[in-house]
Structure 1
Amino acid sequence: MKKIYFLCTGNSCRSQMAEGYAKSILSPDIFEIESAGIETHGLNPNAVKVMAEDGVDISSHYSKLIDLRYFNTSDLVITLCGDAKDKCPMLPPQTKSLHWPLSDPAQATGTLEEQLEVFRKVRDEIKKLIIDLNDHFH
């Protein structure tokens, strides 16, 4: 079983979307998947909405702080923002890491529809990265 950990600043948008896609795309027989933040900002309703548009339900997710036991036994840690990369604890020697520098959709301004467009763009980038990750493991 390979453990993947998605880390972001507040575990409200990007890491939650990555966890949702990873759980729907990667084999549960091979991968254990979690996400967390350096802080907890609550689950962003726009993230839930745009994921549902693509058939992935993350409405039961919640914002979690880094669990050091899970972190220290992870095979792969993926940071989704510079803040998480900078503040990430020291990785154990067996752990690989990736950094996906995605913009923060929660910072989007404008009308609700304009904000949702930013969320959709980030969602689609994350989905592509998860598909590429899946291809890498096969």
Structure 2
Amino acid sequence: MSAGRDDDAQGAGAPGDAARPKVSSVLFLCGMNAIRSPIAEALARSLLPPTVYIASAGVRHGERDPFVDAVLEERGLSLGEREPQRYEDLEDGFFDLIVTMAPEAHHAALDATGTASVQVEFWPMPDPSVVTGSRDQILDAYRDLLGRIEQRIRQRFEA
């Protein structure tokens, strides 16, 4: 494994890590860029300085999820007209940090970056789309995910 990679989910995001270089560009990567990574992108844009370039993508094609829009709107955030995009379709593939949020995304990032000088961190996150029940129960699962992602972003970037 090359230097700069962090496969340990527990170690990723530990605040106060003096050896961790400053990040100027972050990619959040999940399965379909429909739930986890767009939530992370929207939150990061609201929490990190505007000088940090932030993007998100998926390893497969996905469709926009209306529950994501609903929970982001509760926080005063929006994805605008943004549609899910695939990792391989990104115009700029260079990032200081790639945060993966699903096992398939983590493996894809490691395969794609090879020996490149990029940090890859795995932040495993639950998939709220598997939750069944009432609309409120489903929204609660999405809110829980949003809270988990926000906590990781604040820990990792001390935001």
TM norm structure 1: 0.89
2:57 match:
36
Q: Take 2:119 and 2:128, find their aligned partners in 1: how far apart are those partners?
A: 26
1:101 aligns with 2:124: yes
For 1:36-89, what per-residue CA distance to the aligned partner results, in whole angstroms no more than 9, with x for missing partners?
001121111101101111121124221001146533x11000001112112333
Greater shift, 105-114 or 12-21, is seen at: 105-114
Aligned with 1:7 (options 9, 20, 29)? 29
Q: How does 1:118-133 map to 2 (within 5 A)?
A: 118-133=141-156
Partner of 1:75: 96
Pick one of 48, 52, 57 that aligns with 1:26: 48
1:62 counterpart SS class? coil
Farther-moved stretch of structure 1 (10-19 vs 89-98): 89-98
Q: Indicate the larger mover: 40-49 or 12-21.
A: 40-49
Q: Which amino acid in the other structure matches residue 130 of structure 2?
A: Q
Aligned residue in 2 for 1:62: 83
Task: Work out whether residues 8 and 15 of structure 1, in 8 Å CA contact, stay in contact via their aligned partners in 2.
Answer: yes
Structure number with greater Rg is: 2
**SS of the counterpart of 1:57?**
coil
- Aligned residues with identical type, % of pairs: 27
Query: Are the counterparts in 2 of residues 6 and 15 from structure 1 also a CA contact under 8 Å?
Result: yes
Deviating above 6 A after TM superposition, structure 1's stretches of 4 or more consecutive aligned residues are: none
Q: Are 1:53 and 2:74 an aligned pair?
A: yes
Q: CA RMSD in A?
A: 1.7
Larger helix proportion of the pair:
1
Task: Write the distance in 2 (CA, Å) between the matches of 1:28 and 1:48.
Answer: 22
Determine if contact 1:14/1:104 at 8 Å carries over to the other structure: yes
Instruction: Give the match's secondary structure for 2:92.
Output: helix
Q: State the number of aligned residues.
A: 134
